[in-house]
Amino acid sequence: MKFTKQTKRDLYTCVMVILFYVVIQVLDKAGVLSFHIKGLLVPLCYYSIAAVALNLVVGILGDLSLGHAGFMCVGAFSASLFSVAVKESGMPAGLRFLTALIIGTLMAALFGFLIGIPVLRLNGDYLAIVTLAFGEIIKNFLAAVYLGYDEEGLHVAFKSFQLKGEGKMLINGAMGIQGTPTDSTFTISIVILLLALFAIQNLVNSRAGRAIMAIRDNRIAAEAVGINITKYKMLAFTVSAAIAGTAGVLFSHNTSTLTASSTYFGYNVSILILVYVVLGGIGNIRGSIIATAILYILPELLRGLNSYRMLIYSIVLIVIMLINWAPAAIAFRERYGIRAFIGRKRENSGKEVS
């Protein structure tokens, strides 16, 4: 069997993830990993998944979304709601978590689709700010809603209320959802990361993926050769939202308390994921995973650096953008034949066609 260069590159990415998993398992068996480090593994996976999902929109589709934390929030809440509701019904834990994952992913996909309809008509800055707005609306809405059931049925309100007789509060306003079963394990998270990688790499290398990249490089030219802009933009955005939703499910099933607070689902989280994507290389799927791993684990290991961590991130973010995108820097690189520092390979895409 012969592989193309791209397939090989994709396989290396998967092998890299599997190797990472094996190394961690070996270290765990040897008893080297502290409890603290083990607690970081699942978050590392869901942030990687979110970063890969965001890279599909930012790198492959070429639109900036600042609302991916909102899709994580949708996935997290819908899946947690399901898990809490069926917790006492005797459903086997494996099946319950699988269903929760599917529900979270589908709900996020649905929201991605619905939000995509208006959002994808916009361009550039407007698109970024509207996705941010949607993310904040989702978060604020879920932080304000109360949902519970009792003898009289299901109640939804924006004020705290009393349940009559037998019943349970499912979403308790700003207190969120309590008692989500902690089903997320490192193994499951790695499997889902691999699945997400598989889905995205296949999409990117397909006919649809090439259409999406054509839209990114020149929307008008793509339209002229008959590519259905709306369809492919929606496809990329919905898939990205769905995968971000899966990351959200892993998030919500990692701890038993889930609240829609700014710390977890605010636009700052979307920006943090964007930092992972940009530092890993816009459009470079493998880079997103590596950047997330380094940026997430390293500061936790170097506790002393922690107060400087975000400062360093921000400086690195600015410097990388300047080196990679400034016309003067591009001209300098072209003259001396230096490859872009980090980022997708741009064959002539930086040049204006005149």
Partner 1 sequence: MLNFLTYFVNGISLGSIYAIIALGYTMVYGIAKMLNFAHGDVIMIGSYIIYTSMVTWGLDPLLSIVIAAAGCTVLGIVTEKVAYKPLRGAASSLAVLITAIGVSYLLQNLALLIFTANPKSFSSVVSWDGISLAGGELKIQGVTIITIITSLIVLLALQTFIKKTKQGQAMVAVSEDKGAAALMGINVNKTISLTFAIGSGLAAIAGALLCSAYPNLTPYTGAMPGIKAFVAAVLGGIGSIPGAMIGGLLLGIIESLSKRYISTQLSDAIVFSILIIVLLVRPTGLLGKKVQEKV
Pick from 97, 134, 276, 296 the residue near partner 1 by CB under 8 A: 134
Site string for partner 1, 181-220 (x = CB under 8 A): ---------------------------------------x
Count of CB atoms within 10 A of residue 319's CB? 11
Distance CA 270, CA 248 (A): 12
Assigned token pair, 114? 């619905």
Tell me which residues in 281-320 interact with partner 1 (CB under 8 A). 282, 307-308, 310-311, 313-315, 317-318
**Residues 6 or more apart from 262 whose CB is under 8 A from it?**
139, 268
Q: Is 271 in the site for partner 1 (CB under 8 A)?
A: yes
Q: Which amino acid is at 278?
A: V
**Residues 6 or more apart from 125 whose CB is under 8 A from it?**
none
The count of residues in the chain is: 354
Pick from 170, 192, 274, 289 the residue near partner 1 by CB under 8 A: 274
Residues binding partner 1: what is the number (CB under 8 A)?
52
167 versus 350: smaller Cβ distance to partner 1:
350
Assigned token pair, 120? 């994808």
Distance CA 146, CA 155 (A): 8
Tell me which residues in 234-263 interact with partner 1 (CB under 8 A). none
39 versus 118: smaller Cβ distance to partner 1:
118
24 versus 128: smaller Cβ distance to partner 1:
128
Pick from 20, 113, 141, 149 the residue near partner 1 by CB under 8 A: 141
Assigned token pair, 205? 């290398």
Pick from 62, 104, 287, 299 the residue near partner 1 by CB under 8 A: 62
Pick from 321, 333, 340, 342 the residue near partner 1 by CB under 8 A: 321
Per DSSP, the three-state class of 35 is helix
Pick from 93, 294, 301, 326 the residue near partner 1 by CB under 8 A: 326
Q: Which amino acid is at 122?
A: L
Distance CA 121, CA 201 (A): 26
Q: Is 64 in the site for partner 1 (CB under 8 A)?
A: yes
Rg of the chain, C-alpha, whole Å:
21
Q: Is 322 in the site for partner 1 (CB under 8 A)?
A: yes
Site string for partner 1, 88-127 (x = CB under 8 A): ------------------------------x--xx-xxx-
Distance CA 346, CA 354 (A): 18
23 versus 331: smaller Cβ distance to partner 1:
331
* Residue numbers at the binding site for partner 1 (CB under 8 A): 58, 62, 64, 118, 121-122, 124-126, 128-130, 132-134, 136-137, 140-141, 143-144, 158, 174, 220, 267, 271, 274-275, 278, 282, 307-308, 310-311, 313-315, 317-318, 321-322, 324-329, 346, 349-352
